[in-house]
């Protein structure tokens, strides 16, 4: 059974922007629930739109089992995991949100994430603990659901979570959030409130209502009995960040060791609220007439800095630069103090030439932070 494009667009009216994007890029369906392949996920975070109109292909139980049987264990992970799996994997909507969180977080945050999952404090995460994620994100999503046809919302819940109605929550009852929070903030706040004893009691019910996925098998083995230590968890997160950056870099490098400064500007300005990117690009062309190129190490270091943008913002406010422009030396020092990342002089100069519209070799702090927050979250700030 396949879902037509017109049916997809109909339910889109009742979906949030993140739900819409997941449904647009997902290509698989099993027992009514939609899944991305690893290839779909990579496309969703590196492309504006799917390369071709998607139809959801229904998987049989046998096909799903075969995919999961071929999933490598976590100790065989690499920065090519998603590319190697390609179409042979299934990623749920909850896992899609989790993977997006990973892409925007600093390495220092990986330990926080692991400790949040490790609810019994034994330095290992098991499958039951990881499934708290399903409940936390589901609970948050219910608060964001658009009002309207309840039948349509029920269909969306089935597609995204694999059930028609809300399951019992493993979280303590709490009032509605008055302030919109990111999924990462929700995870950070809510996991500490998770009642692990309640989860243990209901784990069988939660597990029985969910199909295994590539991520669950990768982390916890084909029988779901393995446990995940921090080293493997850290390596997975670091590999995913590296893989997505490699894919974006290679899409512009054409087999070379560098990308042009203009290509770097194009990548930076993607998914941002900048309406007229041509003025930034023209400004950079005039300021950097001779192309030197940006290496992958420089490219990666800049995005590691972006993942620490919150700390950088605090540092800038402490330096009292929030209301005025800053120079290259001040910028470079603030980045290093706040994030521990050393940016090369050429990279800093390139960033300044992109955003220094009035060409006074000063960077507008507020404008730069606003644009980079959009880029960091790939348009979903």
- pLDDT tens for 219-258 read 999 999 999 999 999 999 999 999 999 999 999 998 899 9
Q: Where are the beta strands (DSSP E) in the chain?
A: 28-30, 33-35, 57-58, 124-125, 228-229, 258-259, 294-295, 325-326, 363-364
Report residue 238 as tokens. Answer: 């670091």
Contact 195, 170 (CB under 8 A): yes
**What integer is the mean pLDDT of 320-343?**
81
Query: Across 7-11, 241-245, 326-330, which has the greatest mean pLDDT?
Result: 241-245
pLDDT of residue 106: 84
State the Cα–Cα distance between residues 282 and 346, nearest whole angstrom: 18
Query: Across 76-80, 168-172, 263-267, which has the greatest mean pLDDT?
Result: 76-80
- At 293, is the pLDDT very low, low, confident or very high (cuts 50, 70, 90)? very high
pLDDT of residue 367: 73
Pairwise pLDDT comparison (267 vs 186), residue with the higher score: 267
> Which of 305, 308, 306, 299 lies closest to 248, judged by CA?
299
CA distances 67 to 34, 54, 222, Å, are: 15, 20, 11
State the Cα–Cα distance between residues 136 and 142, nearest whole angstrom: 10
pLDDT of residue 240: 95
pLDDT above 70 coverage of the chain, percent: 78
Contact 312, 274 (CB under 8 A): no
pTM: 0.83
- Average pLDDT for the chain: 80
Report residue 173 as tokens. Answer: 């009852």
Residue 104 confidence (pLDDT) above 70: yes
Q: Average the pLDDT over each of 20-24, 149-153, 169-173, 273-277 and give the range with the smallest value.
A: 169-173
Pairwise pLDDT comparison (181 vs 45), residue with the higher score: 45
**What integer is the mean pLDDT of 334-356?**
88
Q: Please state, as a whole number, how many other Cβ atoms lie within 10 Å of the Cβ of residue 7.
A: 12
Report residue 97 as tokens. Answer: 């949100």
């Amino acid at each position: 059974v396949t879902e037509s494009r017109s049916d997809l667009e109909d339910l889109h009216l009742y979906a949030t922007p993140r739900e819409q994007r997941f449904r647009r890029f997902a290509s698989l369906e099993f027992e009514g629930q939609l899944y991305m392949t690893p290839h779909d996920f990579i496309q969703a975070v590196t492309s504006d739109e799917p390369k071709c109109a998607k139809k959801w292909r229904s998987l049989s139980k046998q096909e799903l089992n075969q995919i999961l049987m071929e999933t490598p264990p976590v100790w065989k992970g690499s920065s090519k995991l998603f590319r190697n799996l390609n179409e042979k994997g299934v990623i749920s909507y909850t896992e899609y949100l989790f993977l997006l969180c990973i892409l925007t977080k600093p390495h220092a945050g990986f330990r926080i994430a692991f400790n949040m999952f490790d609810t019994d404090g034994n330095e290992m995460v098991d499958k039951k603990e990881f499934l708290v994620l399903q409940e936390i994100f589901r609970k948050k999503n219910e608060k964001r659901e658009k009002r309207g046809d309840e039948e349509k919302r029920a269909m969306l819940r089935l597609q995204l979570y694999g059930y028609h109605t809300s399951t019992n929550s493993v979280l303590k009852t709490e009032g509605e959030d008055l302030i919109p929070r990111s999924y990462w903030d929700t995870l950070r706040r809510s996991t500490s409130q998770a009642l692990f004893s309640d989860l243990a009691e209901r784990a069988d019910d939660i597990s029985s209502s969910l199909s295994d996925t590539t991520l669950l098998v990768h982390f916890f083995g084909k029988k779901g009995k393995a446990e995940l230590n921090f080293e493997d968890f850290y390596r997975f997160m670091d590999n995913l960040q590296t893989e997505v950056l490699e894919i974006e870099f290679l899409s512009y490098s054409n087999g070379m060791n560098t990308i042009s400064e203009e290509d770097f500007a194009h990548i930076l300005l993607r998914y941002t609220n900048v309406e007229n990117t041509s003025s930034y690009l023209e400004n950079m062309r005039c300021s950097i007439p001779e192309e030197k190129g940006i290496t992958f190490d420089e490219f990666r270091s800049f995005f590691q800095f972006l993942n620490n943008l919150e700390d950088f913002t605090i540092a800038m406010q402490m330096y009292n630069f929030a209301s005025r422009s800053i120079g290259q030396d001040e910028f470079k020092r603030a980045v290093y103090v706040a994030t521990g990342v050393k940016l090369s002089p050429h990279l800093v100069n390139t960033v300044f030439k992109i955003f220094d519209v009035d060409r006074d070799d000063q960077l507008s702090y507020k404008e730069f932070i606003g644009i980079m927050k959009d880029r960091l979250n790939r348009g979903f700030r």
